[in-house]
Structure 1
């Protein structure tokens, strides 16, 4: 389990939420656009003081996508990506969040787009190969 004291607040690790919901017999994954490049990503961000990684991922899901739900405390995996403006490679520890509500208004609703997609389509839209594999194999 990843604990809040396993990191510093601006290290090379972020926490992300793989938000999912059932649509009939199928699972759907939520993707949001990044603010800087507009590419499709999952909600993610820096660890937060006083919160576990899972709790921080849950907070990011709300702020970036307007999604509330049940977060699983054990990571489903991780992936890496480059953040050129910080000149660093980051690891994102990913937690599954079963969506119970998607609000129309949320903190970053004017800065991002969001979409629910099948596992296959979501995996095809993200740029990071490890994230694509994590999404494709989520079930």
Structure 2
């Protein structure tokens, strides 16, 4: 009966706690030839599933700066983070001893300028540049899938070439 009481206690804790917050970077670049947007996916170190760089808040750093730092540490990219989040998604973070807690991940777009040869987690993850539709197909979290596709739609709509005005109209 003791194990059942412990499980019940863990379940109560899991549902009682507010979601923990993390900050993530949706790293992107524009393919010059086609003008197509690509995003960078990385694998998680524990399960190998496709994710985006993310981490816990850091004292003294703004949330977009945390996302920027995680992008460098986990994927070796540097660039310009947008200061306003593009959205958030929820997922269950697995902790030690099998307990899972809800996490809300606030996501910042980061336009990549530089790929570093050496970075803290080099060799611990796979990295791949993919289209937004491919990225959405690979990630597991439904909210992240939606966020990636919404980002592509918003970016594409705001970066359409302006048609030249007809001088004879």
Corresponding residue for 2:59? 49
**TM-score, reference length from structure 1:** 0.90
Instruction: Work out which of the residue numbers 108, 114, 135 in structure 2 matches 1:122.
Output: 135
Higher Cα Rg, which structure: 2
**Matching residue of 1:3:** none
Q: CA deviation digits over 1:70-102, x for unaligned, max 9?
A: 001100000011013252010000000000011
98, 101, 111: which one aligns with 2:114 = 101
Structure 2 gaps, min length 5: 1-18, 156-169
> 1:14 corresponds to which residue?
22
Asked which structure has the greater RCO (Cα within 8 Å, sep 6+), the reply is: 1
Aligned to 2:90: 80
The count of aligned residue pairs is 129
Answer 1 or 2: which has greater helix percent.
2
Aligned: 1:90 with 2:71: no
Runs of 4+ in 1 over 4 A off after TM superposition: none
Tell me what 1:37 maps to: 47
TM-score, normalised by the number of residues in structure 2: 0.74
Q: Which has the higher strand share?
A: 1
